[in-house]
Structure 1
Amino acid sequence: MADVSLATTLTNPDTRPVPFRGGGFKPSSPKWVGVAVFIVLIALLEFGTRAGYISNLTVPRPSDVLGTLIDLTRSGMLWKHLVPSVSRLIVGATIGATIGIATGLMIGLFSMVRAGLVPLVAAIFPIPKIALLPLFVVWFGIDEASKYALIAFGTFTPTVVATYGAVDNVDRGLIRMGQSFSLSWTTIVTRIVLPGAMSGILSGLRVSLAIAIILLVAAEMLGAEYGIGAYILQAGSLYDLERLFAGVTILSLLGVLTSGAVGLAEKHLLEWRG
């Protein structure tokens, strides 16, 4: 049979061997595409506002927003607002993500913990975290502690759900294979479960950090002298669109940086996938 197949391949010029696809689905995209999209959108806004198609009372010129950002940087006010925001984001998100990943792993690995905590997580997950800000102020005061607590709590719940969902999606065949080779429970968790769940955990962390930025702005709008949220609130109360959009631009850049940090972590931690 093999000789017949070989003879058919040699005599039929249209028959070609199938290329090796062992690498699996590995999407890739040029990095310049995303930058080009932003440039095109900004150029359209600039043209629309200058030509009068878009009212300056609704959307300011991107060039004016850039000028506001430059003035903020030169005056030093950018760092006065940015440094407190970044520190609050780092502290709150780190606390929430760390506890969330640990709790999600325990839910995914231990049946008793799952039975006790999954209903609790399901009950608190739909609660709008911004609505709890006054309660956190009562509990922790109007200073930094309430802001850390709100960001941590908002980061905690989606991280828990993503983590134990990622653990549940690990291929059970691999776990049974490890058990058949008499691997210890610790080895199975560290060598099979955690690497298999890491992609889902990092995807959930990307969403959690976006939620953390939203809650950061909400927390800084109450009782904060400096911070991006306080800056946006001041600009909105004065209807200063250039300052308002400058603050929104800073938040967007902060979101891009956090997403890029998670992307670097994915590249490092998931390098074994090839």
Structure 2
Amino acid sequence: MTDATFPPAAEAEARPVRFRGGGFRPSSPRWVGALVFVVLIAFLEWGTRAGFISNLTMPRPSDVFATLVDLARSGMLWTHLVPSLTRLLVGGAIGAFVGIAVGVMIGLFSVVRAGLVPLVAALFPIPKIALLPLFVIWFGIDEASKYALIAFGTFTPTVVATYGAVDNVDRTLIRMGQSFSLSWSTIVLRIVLPGAMPGILSGLRVSLAIAIILLVAAEMLGAEYGIGAYILQAGSLYDLERLFAGVAILSLLGVLMSGTIGVIEKRLLGWRA
């Protein structure tokens, strides 16, 4: 066998190895997501104008947009949006903070895990909306019951995501820290929490989406102002333009919250690049 069969060592080293999927670092142009929304809205506009889609079941997107503009001009948009944002931020922040703290404790301490994992497993599958009347009895029909419902609905998925993320931290890194005689607190702060952060943030995406759902349910039961109350009023009058305007606000709120989590991920997880 001649030496020509094998490439020179220098040539082999200079030839880069390309990973499939861009090195497992997914990236896509930002305009693709916006294009999907534009195409969908354009299709609905065309379908409702051409009669392909009945106006009794789907309003024209242009009419929904005009309703949103009227809401903003009249000031009613902020009248309904500000209470909803306050409830969402307060309840979601309480649930997320307590959920992350409890999840980290479950992941780090065996006694806490043995005591709380069965409790969390029992609470997690309970439909949180079904507990709304109970929260009203406990906390009253004012803001406290809405905060409590949103916090509880955010708490359980955050706990599950957090202690699962702590469990998935590479044990080799922890043993390496122990071999360098790092203290327990240093290992937790420098190895465990950074390693668990991707899973925690992914869990927060789900938890905050659940918080929006519970926000609407709470406002439909006992609130004069809020996006949920606005949607309920529009639905009772069969005003599809107002109803879909409220749904559009909720969708935009979800997109903004997901984008906020994305920004936090870029800030905190830049070490993964």
TM-score normalised to structure 1 length: 0.94
- Contact between 1:231 and 1:247, CA under 8 Å: does it hold in 2? yes
What code does the residue aligned with 2:36 have?
A: V
Alpha-carbon distance in 1 for matches of 2:14, 2:227:
60
Tell me how large the CA RMSD over aligned residues is: 2.0
Q: What do residues 14-45 of structure 1 show as CA deviations (whole Å, max 9, x unaligned)?
A: 99724376x94211110000000000000000
What code does the residue aligned with 1:19 have?
A: V
**Corresponding residue for 1:187?**
186
**Corresponding residue for 1:9?**
7
Alpha-carbon distance in 2 for matches of 1:187, 1:272:
18
CA displacement at 1:8 relative to structure 2: 3.2
Matches within 5 A, 1:197-216: 197-216=196-215
* Runs (5+) with no aligned partner, structure 2: none
CA displacement at 1:253 relative to structure 2: 0.2
Specify whether residues 53 and 201 from structure 1 end up closer, same or farther in structure 2 by C-alpha distance, changes over 3 A only: same
What code does the residue aligned with 1:219 have?
A: A
SS of residue paired to 1:40: helix
**Corresponding residue for 2:79?**
80
Alpha-carbon distance in 1 for matches of 2:23, 2:184:
29
CA displacement at 1:257 relative to structure 2: 0.5
Alpha-carbon distance in 2 for matches of 1:113, 1:236:
46
- Contact between 1:163 and 1:204, CA under 8 Å: does it hold in 2? yes
* Runs (5+) with no aligned partner, structure 1: none
**Corresponding residue for 2:17?**
19
Q: What do residues 124-173 of structure 1 show as CA deviations (whole Å, max 9, x unaligned)?
A: 00000000000000000000000000000000000000000000000001
TM-score normalised to structure 2 length: 0.95
What code does the residue aligned with 1:111 have?
A: S
- Contact between 1:9 and 1:16, CA under 8 Å: does it hold in 2? no
**Corresponding residue for 1:244?**
243
Q: What do residues 217-248 of structure 1 show as CA deviations (whole Å, max 9, x unaligned)?
A: 00000110100000000000000000000000
Matches within 5 A, 1:1-274: 8-10=6-8, 17-19=15-17, 24-274=23-273
Alpha-carbon distance in 1 for matches of 2:77, 2:218:
18
SS of residue paired to 1:222: helix
Alpha-carbon distance in 2 for matches of 1:199, 1:15:
33
SS of residue paired to 1:45: helix
What code does the residue aligned with 2:120 have?
A: V
Alpha-carbon distance in 2 for matches of 1:145, 1:48:
44
Number of aligned residue pairs: 269
